Amino acid sequence: MPGTAVSSHAPRIRWHIVVFLAPAVLVYTAVMILPLFDTLRLALYDEVEGQRVFVGLENFRTLFGDPNWSRQFWNALANNFWFFLIHMAVQNPIGIALAAILSNPRLRFSGFYRSAIFIPTILSFVIVGFAWKLILSPIWGIAPGMLDAIGLKSLFAPWLGREETALTTLALISVWQFVGIPMMLIYAALLSIPDEILEAGECDGVTGFSAFWKIKLPLILPSIGIISILTFVANFNAFDLIYAAQGALAGPDFSSDILGTFLYRTFFGFQLQLGDPHMGSAIASAMFAVILIGVCLYLFGIQTRIRRYQL
C-alpha cells in the first residue's frame, strides 16, 4: 500500500483524501441519506392549523388503525406482494431458460437474440405502459384479432379494465419488459462455469437437461439469489408502469394499487384528495421497513446459506 508510506499515526491530515472523498460524500449525504432520515422523522409530525407539530406515532396509528387508510394500505401491500410473486414465478424462470439456451457455445446468432430480447428493458415505462394499453385495448383490436387468428377469440377480455385481471396483466407487462436483466446476469454466470466441470459430467453420462439441473443450476444459485433481491427492491418501489398505464388512481377501483402509487396519491394528492406530506412520510417509512426486512432476510437468511463453489 503506497499510501502507508506516510505513516498512519502521523497527526497531519492528508488533505488529498478529503478532497477526493468530499464531493461524493457531500452529494450522497445531502440528497440521499439526510432526506431519507428526514422522511422517517416527518412521519412523526403532523400539520395542525398551519403549524408542524410532533404527534409521535399518530400517523402510523391512522395508517394501520383507521379503516379507510388501513384498507388502502393492506390492499397496496398485498397487491405489491402479488406483483413480486408474478415476477419471481414468471420473469426469473423465463430469464434462466433463455440464458441456458443462449449459453450454448455452438448457437449461432446468439448476439442478435441477446440484443433483441434486451430491447424492452431499455424502453421507458411510459412507452411500455401505453404501448400495451393500446395493444390490449378492445377498441383497437390487435389482441382480439390475433387470438381470433388462432381460434381463441373467446379468451379475450379487456384485461386491464377488469378488477380481477388488471394487476396480473400489469405484472406480466413488467415481466415482459424486464426479462432481459435475469437473462443477462444468468448468462454471465453460466459462461463462467469452466468447461472441465461439464466435460467431467459428460464422462459420467450427465448431459443435456440433467447437466443443467445437476451441475449448472447449483452453480448459478448465488446469481439467482442476487436477481431475487434486485427484483424485490425494484418491485417494492415500482410506480411508473402503473401510473403510466392506469393513472394515479391505479384502477379499476384500486385493484392495481401498489405502495408506490399509494405513496404518490397520499403525498401529492390527486383530484379531490389533498396532498399530505406527513402521511406520505408514514407510508414511505413503511416501504422502507418492508424493503429493509426483505434485504435483511436475504443477507442473513438466504445469502449465508447458499452454497458457493470455488470455480
Partner 1 sequence: MSTARHTPLNSVAAHAALIAYTLIALFPVFVIVINSFKERRAIFREPLALPDAESFSLIGYQTVMKQGDFFLYFQNSFIVTVASLFFILLFGAMAAFALAEYRFRGNTLMGLYLALGIMIPIRIGTVAILQMMVATGLVNTLWALILVYTAQGLPLAVFILSEFMRQVSDDLKNAGRIDGLSEYKIFFRLVLPLVRPAMATVAVFNMIPIWNDLWFPLILAPAEEVKTLTLGSQVFIGQFVTDWNAVLSALSLAILPVLVLYVIFSRQLIRGITSGAVK
CB of 154 to partner 1, least distance (A): 20
Residue 32 or 272: which CB sits closer to partner 1? 32
Give the number of other CB atoms < 10 A from CB of residue 150.
8
Report CA Rg, the chain.
25
Residue 81 or 239: which CB sits closer to partner 1? 239
Residue 61 or 114: which CB sits closer to partner 1? 114
Residue 19 or 150: which CB sits closer to partner 1? 19
Cβ-proximal residues to 73 (8 Å cutoff; 6+ apart), any chain:
63, 64, 262, 283, 286
CB of 28 to partner 1, least distance (A): 5
Phi then psi for residue 230, to 5 deg, are -60, -40
Residue 58 or 202: which CB sits closer to partner 1? 202
The angle at the Cα of 197, spanning 191 to 198, to the nearest 5 degrees, equals 70
CB of 163 to partner 1, least distance (A): 21
CB of 93 to partner 1, least distance (A): 13
CA 62 remoteness from chain centre: 28
CB of 171 to partner 1, least distance (A): 16
Task: Please name the helix (run of DSSP H) or strand (run of DSSP E) that holds residue 276, with its range, or none.
Answer: none
CB of 1 to partner 1, least distance (A): 5
Residue 67 or 109: which CB sits closer to partner 1? 109
C-alpha 117/C-alpha 99 separation (Å) is 11
Q: Is 176 exposed, middle or buried (0-12, 13-18, 19+ CB in 10 A)?
A: middle
Task: Please name the helix (run of DSSP H) or strand (run of DSSP E) that holds residue 311, with its range, or none.
Answer: none
CB of 298 to partner 1, least distance (A): 9
Give the number of other CB atoms < 10 A from CB of residue 227.
24
C-alpha 192/C-alpha 220 separation (Å) is 9
Ramachandran bin of 205, using left for φ above 0, alpha for ψ from -120 to 50, beta for the remaining angles: left
Residue 21 or 164: which CB sits closer to partner 1? 21
Strands (E), the chain: 45-48, 51-54
Residue 67 or 271: which CB sits closer to partner 1? 271
Torsion of CA 271, 272, 278, 282, to 10 degrees: -70
CB of 46 to partner 1, least distance (A): 13
